[in-house]
Chains A and B, each alone.
Chain A
């Protein structure tokens, strides 16, 4: 099924591109009355007619296949009802209708015999052919991956530029090769001036198209791939790499044609022009063949999920990370020296481009220096990596997941890693290598995907067992979220009740809560809107502080802060227990309190605790015991004002640990 889909989509794309290229190259060559040129033009027009019909047929095949895939049954491909649904009710269907309507128009236009003896008529007729072909090809971008991106209009425009540039360049190669071949024959001498002119114009157009392709392709890759892991670890990224690998010889051929073969056409004598023209025709045809393969990869990418939405499968046993240099001065020094050597190499390479005389020795030297720089700078940055290193966690960093992970941790991990994650469990004493201290800052150097790999497969040489068979994938992610919370809690043990300006690092685990029968809300709902004072309280000790907060509530709201009070005993009748006086109007959690308390107690272990969470979702201050600056209510307002005054807020944390 997949092979069939690749085949029909490739055929459809290649035929559409050839159609556009043929129409454009007729226009590019210009009108001529020479018999050979006229013969070529007639042949090309016939080709256009055939290509329109074939492209339409391939488009129908794509539609039938797509319908069968969407409906999930083969018979749907021939079911009129299913086809109508796909055509009229999906975006892809609408775009299909527009594109194939344009192709039909083009077929009709090409079928009508037109009188093109006058220059204006010739231009109008050939221009219209190219215009309709370009429109039919370009409109496809509106139904591609770009349409699913945020800011779809700009993305669709970029995709359109990409596909049109590809169409004009790649599609024009074969018609140009045919023209050159005809003109290169002994009897084609009359068309030679036209062929030379066409080749020169085409060369200029191709350069512009390649630049447009590289620019638009980079933008698209940034949006659809976005990371090295996505590039080397997903099907989409690998297809893109394949495309780039094929593009390299095409560009090399193109450069050769532009620098060597094209100037050779300029010779006055017949002797000089003809062999060069035939050689150019062969090379251009070679380019076209390679380009057809690129189109196949492009067509496959069209229905492969973009890398940004796929889980990358990291193919190497190492990755490069600047975090390895954090506490290692010797390694940092080596990396620094290496980077300076790399800069030197880059300068030499630039010089090689500018200095014409000593170009090759300079370039060779630059390459050697670059290689040496990489050899010095990169090894200290290397850190072990695994296939799942860049996998995104399947479970977000939430209180409920942390609590579930804590239970799994006590069951399976605490025996060696210790109840608090310090690596001091009784089971670890007899191991050759002591179990890792999970609270240590180095856990920040490992991605969640690294931890997932270790928990799933174990670390045989260190004696860590594998839990892939014991724990479900979600449970393993829960454990990872818990370990992250352990590490964060250890790092946050000295966080005090005053806000440190512009230092947001402690991510507040998300949680869901409800007050009475009202719909559930999450901490994330406040993102970008409110500062949240999360108050874990225990009656009766917290009563005076709650009364104080109730008094302050008007001022807090005015400053853009919300108080969320969580009873540490997680009583469902918490509101009733608080009583009628004082009037407490801020949310008091009656559902979901247990998870919130269990997760946030890790950060602030006290009967009464307050955590100030900024608008980006970071914990910025923790008050244990009496609460945040309980003695002086204005101090709390001052802290909130401090947060309000921050000019450059930290970027919001990702939903998942990383």
Chain B
């Protein structure tokens, strides 16, 4: 075989190797990204979700049936913050007072979630 052909073939093989590696890693990254999107999409796609969340009651607004709670991370929905949540029934807030550390159940199709149960933790 002519030497230049051998060199050209070798370089072609190397290029193919680099290209294959690029495509392989690219495909892997794309798959991971797709999984991530799918996981995120599940929250938005209208699936009913349920969380148990710890927090502390900051305000109660009985007129509109809302509790404002400083809460921990709600995985897949929102990070820790102070936020108002509607209660599923008007009587729910009666068990707690401002300043209470609580554990509550959040249920619904994001972003329409309500507190279905709440209890003091100490």
A contact set with B: CB distance below 8 Å: 105, 109, 112, 114-116, 118, 120-125, 127-128, 131, 515-519, 521, 573-580, 583-587, 590
Q: Give the shortest distance, in Å, between B57 (CB) and chain A (any CB).
A: 8
Nearest 6 A-B pairs (CB), nearest first?
A: A516-B56, A576-B99, A124-B4, A575-B99, A121-B3, A124-B7
Chain A residues within 8 Å of B2, by CB: 115, 118, 121
Chain B residues within 8 Å of A515, by CB: 56, 70, 82
Chain A residues within 8 Å of B60, by CB: 580
Decide: A587 near B70, CB < 8 A? Known: A573-B99, A576-B99, A580-B60. Answer: yes
CA distance A516 to B98 in the complex (A): 12
Chain B residues numbered 20-66 whose CB sits less than 8 Å from any CB in chain A: 54-61
Write the chain A residue with the least CB distance to B2: A121
Chain B residues within 8 Å of A574, by CB: 99
B contact set with A: CB distance below 8 Å: 1-4, 6-8, 10-11, 14, 54-61, 68, 70-73, 80, 82, 97-101, 121
Decide: A519 near B80, CB < 8 A? Known: A573-B99, A576-B99. Answer: yes
Q: Give the shortest distance, in Å, between B72 (CB) and chain A (any CB).
A: 5
Chain B residues within 8 Å of A583, by CB: 58-59, 61, 68
Q: Give the shortest distance, in Å, between B65 (CB) and chain A (any CB).
A: 15
CA distance A105 to B17 in the complex (A): 13
Decide: A517 near B55, CB < 8 A? Known: A128-B11, A573-B99, A577-B99. Answer: yes
Chain B residues within 8 Å of A121, by CB: 2-4
CA distance A112 to B7 in the complex (A): 11
CA distance A577 to B56 in the complex (A): 14
Chain A residues within 8 Å of B8, by CB: 124
A575 CB contact (under 8 Å) in B11, B61, B98: B98
Other than the known A121-B2, A577-B99, A580-B59, what 8 A-B pairs have Cβ atoms closer than 8 Å? Answer: A115-B2, A515-B56, A517-B54, A518-B71, A573-B99, A576-B97, A580-B98, A587-B70
CA distance A122 to B4 in the complex (A): 8
Q: Give the shortest distance, in Å, between B27 (CB) and chain A (any CB).
A: 17
Write the chain B residue with the least CB distance to A579: B98
Chain B residues within 8 Å of A577, by CB: 99
Chain A residues within 8 Å of B61, by CB: 583
Decide: A125 near B97, CB < 8 A? Known: A515-B56, A515-B70, A585-B58. Answer: no
List 14 A-B residue pairs with CB atoms under 8 Å apart, sorted by A's residue number.
A114-B3, A120-B4, A121-B4, A124-B8, A125-B3, A125-B6, A125-B7, A516-B55, A517-B121, A518-B56, A518-B80, A519-B72, A580-B97, A584-B59
CA distance A121 to B7 in the complex (A): 9
Q: Give the shortest distance, in Å, between B78 (CB) and chain A (any CB).
A: 12
A112 CB contact (under 8 Å) in B6, B58, B70, B82: B6
Q: Give the shortest distance, in Å, between A40 (CB) and chain B (any CB).
A: 19
CA distance A127 to B82 in the complex (A): 66
Chain B residues within 8 Å of A579, by CB: 98-99
Write the chain B residue with the least CB distance to A113: B3
CA distance A517 to B68 in the complex (A): 15
Chain B residues within 8 Å of A518, by CB: 54-56, 70-72, 80
Chain B residues within 8 Å of A580, by CB: 59-60, 97-98
Write the chain A residue with the least CB distance to B59: A583
CA distance A141 to B59 in the complex (A): 58
CA distance A518 to B80 in the complex (A): 7
The reply to whether B99 and A519 contact each other, CB–CB distance below 8 Å, is no
Chain B residues within 8 Å of A114, by CB: 1, 3, 6
Decide: A128 near B7, CB < 8 A? Known: A519-B73, A575-B58, A585-B59. Answer: yes
CA distance A118 to B82 in the complex (A): 79
Write the chain A residue with the least CB distance to B56: A516
Write the chain A residue with the least CB distance to B6: A114
Q: Give the shortest distance, in Å, between A171 (CB) and chain B (any CB).
A: 21
CA distance A645 to B3 in the complex (A): 68
Q: Which of B59, B60, B61, B73 has the most CB of A within 10 A?
A: B59
Q: Which of B56, B80, B121 has the most CB of A within 10 A?
A: B56
Chain A residues within 8 Å of B11, by CB: 128, 131
Chain B residues within 8 Å of A105, by CB: 10, 14
The reply to whether B7 and A516 contact each other, CB–CB distance below 8 Å, is no
Write the chain A residue with the least CB distance to B121: A517
The reply to whether A575 and B56 contact each other, CB–CB distance below 8 Å, is yes
The reply to whether A578 and B99 contact each other, CB–CB distance below 8 Å, is yes
CA distance A578 to B98 in the complex (A): 9
The reply to whether B100 and A576 contact each other, CB–CB distance below 8 Å, is yes
Write the chain A residue with the least CB distance to B122: A517
Chain B residues within 8 Å of A521, by CB: 80
CA distance A131 to B55 in the complex (A): 63
Chain A residues within 8 Å of B1, by CB: 114
Q: Give the shortest distance, in Å, between B74 (CB) and chain A (any CB).
A: 11
Write the chain B residue with the least CB distance to A127: B7
CA distance A121 to B54 in the complex (A): 75
Chain A residues within 8 Å of B101, by CB: 516-517
Q: Give the shortest distance, in Å, between B91 (CB) and chain A (any CB).
A: 18
Q: Give the shortest distance, in Å, between B19 (CB) and chain A (any CB).
A: 14
Decide: A122 near B3, CB < 8 A? Known: A518-B56, A518-B70, A580-B59. Answer: yes
CA distance A391 to B82 in the complex (A): 41
CA distance A438 to B73 in the complex (A): 44
CA distance A590 to B14 in the complex (A): 62
The reply to whether B68 and A585 contact each other, CB–CB distance below 8 Å, is yes
CA distance A125 to B61 in the complex (A): 83
CA distance A115 to B8 in the complex (A): 15
Chain A residues within 8 Å of B71, by CB: 518
Q: Give the shortest distance, in Å, between A115 (CB) and chain B (any CB).
A: 6
Chain B residues within 8 Å of A586, by CB: 82
CA distance A408 to B37 in the complex (A): 53
B3 CB contact (under 8 Å) in A116, A131, A584, A585: A116
Chain A residues within 8 Å of B4, by CB: 120-121, 123-125
Q: Give the shortest distance, in Å, between A550 (CB) and chain B (any CB).
A: 10
